[in-house]
Amino acid sequence: MRLFASLRPPAEVLEHLAHALDGVAPGSLDAGPPPLRWVPPEQRHVTLAFYGEVPDGALEDLAETLGAVTASTAPLQVQLAGAGVFSGATLWVGVRVVDGDERALTRLMGRVEAAGEDISRLEPRDRHRAHLTVARLSARAQRERSDRRRRSGRGDRRPGRGPAVDLPAVAHALSVYRGPEWTAREVELVESHLGAGRSGGPLHEVRARLPLTGEQA
C-alpha cells in the first residue's frame, strides 16, 4: 500500500484558500485543456511524511509508532501562508506555526518521517518544507515547457508559442496570502489509491487518526 502522513486543515481554512486560488487561477489560452491541474479540495493536506509503497502488514506497526510520536507532541497553532513552486511544475502554499516555536512543525515532520524508516524504501530527506500542494502543470503544459527548453538548448531562437501558464507569477501573487489560523490536533495516516479518484487522480483513504496530546512547552 502507498502511505503518507498529513495534517488536514479544517473546512473553513480550505474554503478561504479556495477563494484566494480563484483569484489567481489562469485560464486556457485556447480551446485545449486548462494549463493547471488543481488538487481537489477534499484532497488538500499538509504533507508531513511520504512513505511510498510499504508492505500491507506494516500498517498496524506504523500506526503504533506514529501514535507514540503524536502522544508526545502538543497541538500546533498553524496557518497557511505564502507560496512557491517545486521543480517548475508544482504550485504549493506554505504552512507556518503561529505564536509558538517556529521549528515545532519541522521537528514533527522529522519524527513522523523517522517513524517509517524501518518500512519505507525511500531515502530520508535532508530538508523539510511544510506545504500544501494546490496545483500541478498539466501534461500538455509540461510537454510544451520541455519543448521550449530543448529548443533553447539548441540555440533555436525562432518565435514560438509562449508558456501556457507562468507558474512563478502565480506563486508570486500568492506570496502575500495568509489564511485563518487553526489548531492542528491530530495526524492522519493515509493510503493513496492511484487512479481511483476524480478524473483518474488518486483516492485518499484515512487509515488512522493519531491525536496530538503532548503537553505544551
Catalytic residue numbers read 45, 131
Separation of alpha carbons 199 and 139, rounded Å: 14
Taking 3-state DSSP, the helix, strand and coil percentages for the chain, each rounded to the nearest 5, stand at: 30, 30, 40
- Asked whether the beta carbons of 73 and 212 are under 8 A apart, the reply is yes
Q: In what order do the strands lie in the sheet with 2-7?
A: 46-53, 2-7, 186-193, 203-211
C-alpha cell at 187: 495526524
Tell me the torsion sign for CA atoms 133, 169, 26, 179.
positive
Coil, helix or strand at residue 22 = helix
Nearest CA among 121, 123, 161 for reference residue 145: 161
C-alpha cell at 140: 500538455
Nearest CA among 131, 129, 5, 1 for reference residue 67: 5
Q: Which residue, chain included where needed, has cell 502575500?
A: 176
